[in-house]
Structure 1
Amino acid sequence: MVAELSEANIKEHFDGIIKKLNSGYSLKDMPAVYRNVIKEIEKLKKKLKGGQHKDTDGLDKLRDALEGAAENADNW
């Protein structure tokens, strides 16, 4: 049984993602950082789909943007 996520839990999860992004990485590290954040988004989507939240379009858009950013960062 998957525990239902509250708005506070979701905010806490995203605060952790933002903290990872703001941890002082260099430009050469950014592709890996973006890909790690994408993994976190996928984990959150699985949790959300297990609960009452079925709409993950916003997370899909965020993931797609980060995938594009990671590909661009590979070329830096």
Structure 2
Amino acid sequence: MRDSIPNWDLRLIPVSGPYSRVRARGCPAHTDGRFALLHPQMERGRRAKIFAPFDALEGFSDRIRTRDDTLVRAMEKAGR
């Protein structure tokens, strides 16, 4: 038996330990009944969008990117 298995992002996670039974069960499946009609399974692309990183400081990453571009141009101009 293996000691660990690759996770979705290829990090190794232990096979045994806390939550091993939960991981073994997999995703819940609601295939029939009212719950399945009211809460259809979300597509992987939409689900990924929920957990995607967000810009906590609005505009900060744009300022950093602009500054990086300015520094790169200055270094290229200086011949570095």
TM-score, normalised to structure 1, is 0.31
Question: Which protein has the larger Cα radius of gyration, Structure 1 or Structure 2?
Answer: 2
Q: Tell me which of the two structures has the higher relative contact order, counting C-alpha pairs closer than 8 angstroms and 6 or more residues apart.
A: 1
Greater percentage in strand: 2
Higher-helix-fraction structure: 1
